[in-house]
Amino acid sequence: MQEKLTKLPIFNGLQKNGIAVLLLACMALIFNSASLAQGGKIKTVVIDAGHGGHDPGCHGAHNNEKEVCLSMALKLGALIKEKYPDIKVIYTRTTDVFVELAERASIANRNNADLFICIHANAGSTTAYGSETYVLGLHRTDAQQKVAERENASINLEDDKGAKYRSYDLTPDGIIALQFQLAVFHRQSILFAEMIQKEFKKIGRYDRGVKQAGFLVLYKTTMPSVLIETAFLPNPTEEKLIGTPEGQQKMALAMFEAFTNYKNATEGKTIVGNTQQNNANTTQNNTQTKPSLPVELPNTAQKEQGLVFRVQIETATKPIARNSSHFKGLEIFEYQDNALFKYCSGTFANDLQGAKKYKNELIEMGFTHAFVVAFLDGERISIEKAIKLAEKK
């Protein structure tokens, strides 16, 4: 799609100043939103066991990463097949073979997968512990960068020594542009990652959180994609967990529960907190023509006139009850943007600084992906336009 878009006449002469990247991102977002609106049913899942063959990954005292990852991948796939026989489960490998990183993504793309799950074990000191799940993005710490660099190092074992990846733009600008291009999938990836971490926490795993980094295996995927670092293999206690069939099954079950919750959320059932909401009354809304611009839904509070800043804390493919425990008692405003339902809190008339302060408070409450948005007479506008309007006040 990117090649088709960049051939449009409007891109002529714009490449050097970055406008083309932004325009491409916006146009691709529209295409992706429209694609999502055509149906959210999960039909195909690709499960990727990290490393393999002459690439063993990291080591414990008794186990290699490639072995424990394959075992967990096969166990997860078996659980999905048993519960959902209509879902096609595809593995990037089922034996101890080496598969190039680019080919793993290509397998998912060729099969039009609806979800890509990459399973790994973490490296570190013998005292490091816990589970973390990554989506493609910008690393925020040196530790996150090192995880990506270690997993990306597999390209050195490929026949061309990684030459094919030279076209991958892993600069901050390149990653941001790609996130815009696949914005819908990126948000869904984060949603699934959060569900995975929640299930790991339920079985007693230390929650190291949802993180972002430049993983090559995720770079070319065109669907929601995550990379799971299940446990630290060099830690003897952690190795006992993922190095035994019982522990591997325990981890696979947690990943399967997250998959079930994600499937329900994207196919018409929203599970938040301890509640499950069947969206039986949304059929009529889903069959109506979706507006091309964000509009307040009928059941939201009356629109304020003028410029208002709010803090967006959630995006979903199906409506979420605004009194859901997921929102922790906050006053919630809901608006619709193409196929997505978006949820904000706070009302700051011409007060950007107040909204930023409130955003930080929400992040501390656990809404880690909160960000400031702006509305003019009830319609969503860009934050850049809002800042200019606020400056004129």
Helices then strands, each counted (H, E), the chain: 13, 14
Instruction: Indicate the pLDDT class of residue 63, thresholds 50, 70 and 90.
Output: very high
- Are 20 and 6 contacting, i.e. CB atoms less than 8 angstroms apart? yes
The reported pLDDT for the residue numbered 390 is: 81
In this predicted model, which residue has the larger pLDDT, 386 or 253?
253
Give the mean model confidence (pLDDT) for residues 81-96.
Answer: 96
Give the mean model confidence (pLDDT) for residues 251-278.
Answer: 73
Cα 190 to Cα 316: distance, rounded to the nearest angstrom: 11
The reported pLDDT for the residue numbered 165 is: 72
Q: What angle do CA 56, 197, 189 make, to 5 degrees?
A: 85
Residue 288 tokens read as 């109506």
The reported pLDDT for the residue numbered 78 is: 96
The reported pLDDT for the residue numbered 231 is: 96
Backbone angles phi, psi at 209, to 5 degrees: 95, 175
**What is the DSSP code string of 339-385?**
TEEEEEEEEEET-HHHHHHHHHHHHHTT-TT-EEEEEETTEEE-HHH
Looking at the predicted structure, is the pLDDT value of residue 125 above 70? Answer: yes
Tell me which DSSP letter residue 279 carries: -
Residue 168 tokens read as 């991958």
User: Residue holding tokens 């090192």?
Assistant: 146
Percent of the chain residues past pLDDT 90, beyond the cut: 44
Nearest by Cα to 374 from 364, 392, 389: 389
Looking only at the bridges linking them, the beta strands covering 307-316 and 275-278 are: unpaired
**What is the DSSP code string of 15-69?**
TTTTHHHHHHHHHHHHHHHHHHHT-----EEEEEE--BTTB--SB-SS-BHHHHH
User: Residue holding tokens 């990852």?
Assistant: 69
Alpha-carbon torsion (318, 251, 117, 211), positive or negative: positive
Looking at the predicted structure, is the pLDDT value of residue 312 above 70? Answer: yes
Cα 31 to Cα 1: distance, rounded to the nearest angstrom: 9
Q: Which residues, at least 6 apart from 380, have a Cβ–Cβ distance to it below 8 Å?
A: 293, 294, 335, 337, 373, 374
**What are the residue boundaries of the structural domains of the chain, listed by start?**
39-267, 292-392
* List of long-range contacts for 61-65, beta carbons under 8 Å, 24+ apart: 61/236, 61/239, 62/239, 62/243, 63/233, 63/239, 63/242, 63/243, 65/120, 65/121, 65/123, 65/233
Q: Does domain 39-267 have CATH number 3.40.630.40?
A: yes
Nearest by Cα to 358 from 343, 345, 340: 345
The reported pLDDT for the residue numbered 384 is: 82
- Are 91 and 104 contacting, i.e. CB atoms less than 8 angstroms apart? no
- Are 299 and 334 contacting, i.e. CB atoms less than 8 angstroms apart? yes
Instruction: Specify the DSSP element, H or E, that contains 107.
Output: helix 101-110
Cα 134 to Cα 88: distance, rounded to the nearest angstrom: 24
In this predicted model, which residue has the larger pLDDT, 75 or 150?
75
Cα 94 to Cα 75: distance, rounded to the nearest angstrom: 11
pLDDT in tens, 4-61: 333 333 233 333 334 444 444 444 444 443 333 334 689 999 999 999 999 999 999 9
Instruction: Indicate the pLDDT class of residue 110, thresholds 50, 70 and 90.
Output: very high
Give the mean model confidence (pLDDT) for residues 299-310.
Answer: 67
Cα 186 to Cα 177: distance, rounded to the nearest angstrom: 12
Give the mean model confidence (pLDDT) for residues 219-236.
Answer: 94
The reported pLDDT for the residue numbered 392 is: 75
The reported pLDDT for the residue numbered 45 is: 98
Give the mean model confidence (pLDDT) for residues 92-114.
Answer: 94
- Identify the three-state secondary structure at position 223: coil
pLDDT in tens, 335-392: 887 677 889 999 999 889 999 999 999 988 888 888 999 999 888 888 888 888 887 7
